[in-house]
Amino acid sequence: MAKVKTRYVCQNCGYTSSKWLGRCPSCSSISSFVEETIKEDKNISRASSWVKHDENLVLPITKVKEVKHERYKSSLFKSFNDFLDGGIVKGSVNLFAGEPGIGKSTFLLQLAKDFCKYGKVLYVSGEESIEQISLRARRLNALDENILVVSNNNLLSIKETIEKIKPSFLIIDSIQTMYLPYLESSPGSVSQIREGTAFLTNLCKALEIPAFIVGHVTKEGNIAGPKVLEHIVDALFFFEGDRFSNLRILKSFKNRFGKTGEVVVFEMQEKGLKEVENPSEFFLKERPIGKPGSVVFPFLEGAQRPILVEVQALITRAAFVTPQRKSQGYDYNRLSIIVALLEKELKLPLKNFDIFVNVVGGINIKEPAADLPVALAIISSFLNIPLKENVCAFGEIGLTGELRQVRFPDMRTKEALKMGFNEIIAPPKYKDIKEVFFNVFKKEKTT
């Protein structure tokens, strides 16, 4: 007979308690505990462990043999292979997250068509019917006999299907709709997401099947479910971009088999996603020439190659008592620091002006190297003085106004020169923001 247990789980962070709590001790969220009942049945069939060696075996790390992972490469998205540091690793579990309608299912269906050359691809959907998946596949020209579709959200039933079909690739869309019947909590709860992901991970590693799992995000932009979900999977990828724009950016936040921080740019077209071979040219093709408030910045989150993007700023006199500070694609708190620094170091009267900053193309920049381009864009818009057409800038600004070195300056400079930007504003050429101000805007300021 199954043993029944009751516990209370925080739906925000996954913290468990034997009794209900008003505030979570882990994440401080209020009224987030939900009662969950668990039935422990030893007769329930679970996936076997993926560990293939003796668990009690202890070896010096110098005597552990190097394992060369077998990888599957994409012929449709060639930059995606570099993004994964060589291709999809056999038996890896990859989590794709992004806002609704951003293109996750479209991308994975295109990958399914691409990887049919290696064998059968099982597409499991807990949200759509097989007719809906077929309709999208026809639109994307992704029809193939090796793509097998099933609409099911019972993981035990899905396990039986996988063991029967033995696919070469597995796609789960999405993990928030899947459930294990021996957990009495509803699909999408913390327990179901955590246990379901662990269940699929053990299964895929035991059968050496690479899996792609779709994950929903909350309104704050975080993956729905506990943080442990991100620790279970081998790789974590995020789709970013404006749903009303045709630009999509795929970022790598975790990869146990390759580099992190990599970026691939796609363009959403009628027939699906198309890879952008030269992202820098794509982002700058509509850049206004001779307009104040526009600065080119070599954006680099990964170690693959920089992408030149345009940082814009608009300064207008405040219409209300409290001036506005708005930023899109750049951290608001960092913008406040830059504005305060420009007021103190350069004596610019920005306190009576509205300031708007935008990174063109829907890219979200978090690296501090964007400090100097943002500052130059603000100064240029405030003085109504455009920068030269061939100017590119990058660098971190300290609280005392000094310019600090950033990662991979040579790589950024090389990409800028390649695109025709032969004047680089960056440390160590310039020591602080005052030196940049008097050198870049010297003639105009004197006039």
Per-residue confidence (pLDDT) for residue 44, from 0 to 100: 47
Confidence check: pLDDT of 300 > 50 = yes
| CATH classification of the domain holding 261 | 3.40.50.300
- Domain annotation covers residue 51: no
Weakest-pLDDT range from 20-24, 349-353, 416-420: 20-24
Residues 342 and 437: beta-carbon distance below 8 Å: no
Q: First and final CA of the chain: distance in angstroms?
A: 89
Per-residue confidence (pLDDT) for residue 76, from 0 to 100: 87
Per-residue confidence (pLDDT) for residue 46, from 0 to 100: 47
Residue 366 CA to residue 181 CA, distance in Å, equals 41
Identify the DSSP state of 351: G
Confidence check: pLDDT of 48 > 50 = no
Confidence check: pLDDT of 265 > 60 = yes
Confidence check: pLDDT of 115 > 80 = yes
Domain residues for the domain of 8 are 3-40
Q: pLDDT (tens digit, 9 = 90+) per residue, 203-226?
A: 999 999 999 999 888 766 666 666
- At which of 248, 277, 306 does a domain end? 277
Confidence check: pLDDT of 51 > 50 = no
| CATH classification of the domain holding 325 | 3.30.230.10
Confidence check: pLDDT of 445 > 70 = no
3-state SS of 74-131 is: CCCCHHHHHHCCCCEECCCEEEEEECCCCCHHHHHHHHHHHHHHHCCEEEEECCCCHH
402 contact partners, CB below 8 Å, separation of at least 6: 431, 432, 433
- Domain annotation covers residue 50: no
If asked whether residues 376 and 242 sit together in one domain, one would say no
Weakest-pLDDT range from 38-52, 83-97, 131-145, 431-445: 38-52
Per-residue confidence (pLDDT) for residue 413, from 0 to 100: 93
Residue in the structure block whose two tokens are 């610019």: 348
Q: pLDDT (tens digit, 9 = 90+) per residue, 360-383?
A: 887 888 889 999 999 999 999 999
If asked whether residues 272 and 376 sit together in one domain, one would say no
pLDDT band at 240 (very low <50, low <70, confident <90, very high): confident
Helix, strand counts (H, E) of the chain: 12, 22
pLDDT band at 442 (very low <50, low <70, confident <90, very high): low
pLDDT band at 337 (very low <50, low <70, confident <90, very high): very high
Per-residue confidence (pLDDT) for residue 40, from 0 to 100: 56
User: What is the pLDDT averaged over residues 39-49?
Assistant: 49
If asked whether residues 257 and 111 sit together in one domain, one would say yes
User: Residue 285 phi/psi, 5° resolution?
Assistant: -70, -25
Confidence check: pLDDT of 113 > 70 = yes
- Domain annotation covers residue 18: yes
Task: Please name which of 396, 430, 429, 424 lies closest in space to residue 412, comparing C-alpha atoms.
Answer: 424
Task: List, in sequence order, every residue forming a beta bridge with 238; answer none if it has no partner.
Answer: 97, 251
Q: Is the dihedral of CA 180, 183, 185, 188 positive or negative?
A: negative
Task: State how many domains the chain has.
Answer: 3
Q: Higher-confidence residue: 30 or 328?
A: 328
Residues 315 and 355: beta-carbon distance below 8 Å: yes
Per-residue confidence (pLDDT) for residue 345, from 0 to 100: 93
Residue 47 CA to residue 160 CA, distance in Å, equals 10
Per-residue confidence (pLDDT) for residue 271, from 0 to 100: 87
If asked whether residues 291 and 344 sit together in one domain, one would say yes
Per-residue confidence (pLDDT) for residue 144, from 0 to 100: 93
Per-residue confidence (pLDDT) for residue 447, from 0 to 100: 40
If asked whether residues 227 and 341 sit together in one domain, one would say no
CA distances from 114 to 118, 143, 154, 226 (A): 9, 11, 27, 32
Residue in the structure block whose two tokens are 């001779």: 290
- Domain annotation covers residue 186: yes
Residue in the structure block whose two tokens are 């790589």: 411
Per-residue confidence (pLDDT) for residue 49, from 0 to 100: 44
Helices (H), 208-346: 228-232, 279-284, 332-345
Confidence check: pLDDT of 39 > 70 = no
- Domain annotation covers residue 430: yes
- Domain annotation covers residue 366: yes
At 434 the three-state DSSP class reads helix
Residue 188 CA to residue 74 CA, distance in Å, equals 31
pLDDT band at 3 (very low <50, low <70, confident <90, very high): low
pLDDT band at 190 (very low <50, low <70, confident <90, very high): confident
Per-residue confidence (pLDDT) for residue 112, from 0 to 100: 94
- Domain annotation covers residue 97: yes
At 156 the three-state DSSP class reads helix
Residue 290 CA to residue 388 CA, distance in Å, equals 7
Output 346-351 pairs: Cβ under 8 A, ≥24 positions apart. Answer: 346/379, 346/433, 346/434, 346/437, 348/379, 348/382, 350/315, 350/378, 350/382, 351/323
Per-residue confidence (pLDDT) for residue 45, from 0 to 100: 46
At 420 the three-state DSSP class reads coil
Angle at 387 between CA 423 and CA 323, to 5 degrees: 135
Question: Percent of the chain having pLDDT more than 70?
Answer: 90
If asked whether residues 267 and 287 sit together in one domain, one would say no
If asked whether residues 233 and 285 sit together in one domain, one would say no
User: What is the pLDDT averaged over residues 390-415?
Assistant: 93
Q: Is the pTM of this model over 0.85?
A: no
Q: pLDDT (tens digit, 9 = 90+) per residue, 241-260?
A: 776 778 888 888 889 988 87
User: Residue 2 phi/psi, 5° resolution?
Assistant: -70, 140
435 contact partners, CB below 8 Å, separation of at least 6: none
Per-residue confidence (pLDDT) for residue 50, from 0 to 100: 45
At 244 the three-state DSSP class reads coil
If asked whether residues 311 and 171 sit together in one domain, one would say no
Residues 124 and 158: beta-carbon distance below 8 Å: yes
